[in-house]
Amino acid sequence: MASLSVDIGAPETYDLAKELEQFQNTKAGVKGLLDSGITKIPKMFVHPKEDAPKNSELGTTTALEVPVIDLASIDDKQAHLEIVEKVEKAASSFGFFQLVNHGIPQNVLDSVLEGSKAFHEGDVAVKSNLYTIDRSRKVRYFSNSRLYKSTFANWHDTLVCDFDGSLDANDIPVVCRNSIINYGQHLRSVSKIVCELLSEALGLAKDHLASINASQKQFMVCHYYPPCPEPDLAMGSTKHTDPSFLTILLQDSVGGLQVHHQGQWVNVSPVRGALVVNIGDLLQLVSNDKFKSVEHRVLANSTEKGPRLSVATFLNPLRSEEKPYGPIKELLSDSNPPIYRDVIFQDYMMHFASKGITTRALDHFKL
């Protein structure tokens, strides 16, 4: 693959649109850039000084930690109540928590990460054939789907598997097909448990969140963050919130995920076998701000660390779902009036997609 040329002249001579077009036309993603032998990142990946991580942030440690919740004793009555309390506290403050002993075997977790890595580091022709930002394609590969809504790009590539309706399993690349399908099947039982715990944490019947049909769809993305030759200038993923109802993330051991909490960036330290759960915008909306959808980001990693892999599964309403979602009536009172107006999820997604990723879409729907 030919290297992407970079104009490092005066700012007024820089043509972002041209560089974006050149990058997209390679159909090789960020991994292709690295494979071409670059030692400096193209200008389109350089984040503004106020957004780019400082060198001191790359190794920051803090006394704050994202809660780790153990589900081993979930069937014990007293332990179950304690777990619900921990979930309530984490969802209403951090907006993030990690789950261990959730029931998915370690070999299933390892396999889906290995399958994702095999795809991203595999046959260039296979990846090129899947490369598109056409959202109607259920299985697709791309880098920075919202390039034209932003003024800078993120240092990662993505394989999407959209399990909404009739996804043909044969469309999933063979190198990761079985591992993705197997992981997705296991994840359904975990998703059910998490939604039940969140329902109870809201003081509702445990099947309440399931009954509103907001988490029926699995939208799975396999992210690959190649090593970056200038990690202090780039971002793996810039700060954002998820528009989903709920997100369940599997990450490898490299690290780099951070959540914004109490005015600082807190590392979500990798825990082997854990699943990272975070509240999405839609769940913040229906909980009437009880649960928080918080900003998070991924730092670019250095060449010494190697690539970072993660598999994020966004739980959303089905695309065919046309019911409006608003604050749950049972949570409202004179002292807790509705904060948001009702919205159909696909309308919310259209608004989200029309904005740059750093713009908080949820605020648009406040009353």
Strand partners, 276: 98, 249
Q: How far is C-alpha 320 from the geometric centre of its chain's CA atoms?
A: 22
Residue identified by tokens 């591992």 is: 179
Q: Give the strand order in the sheet containing 296-299.
A: 235-240, 296-299, 257-261, 264-267
Distance CA 31, CA 343 (A): 38
Q: Cα–Cα distances in Å, from 239 out to 166, 236, 263, 299, 350?
A: 32, 10, 13, 10, 19
Kindly give the parts of the chain with pLDDT less than 70: 1-12, 49-62, 145-150, 356-358
List of residues 6+ apart from 241 with CB closer than 8 A: 280, 281, 293, 294, 295, 296, 360, 361, 362
Per-residue pLDDT, 173: 98
Q: In 3-state terms, what secondary structure has residue 179?
A: helix
User: pTM value?
Assistant: 0.93
| CATH number for the domain that contains residue 58 | 2.60.120.330
Distance CA 111, CA 174 (A): 13
269 belongs to a structural domain: yes
Pick from 224, 221, 175: which is nearest to 35 by CA? Answer: 224
118 belongs to a structural domain: yes
256 belongs to a structural domain: yes
39 belongs to a structural domain: no
Per-residue pLDDT, 356: 64
Structural domains in the chain (count): 1
> Domain limits at 323?
49-365
* Contact (Cβ atoms closer than 8 angstroms) between residue 237 and residue 312: no
34 belongs to a structural domain: no
Distance CA 182, CA 104 (A): 10
Per-residue pLDDT, 58: 46
DSSP-derived letter for residue 365 is G
3 belongs to a structural domain: no
26 belongs to a structural domain: no
Residue identified by tokens 């605020």 is: 363
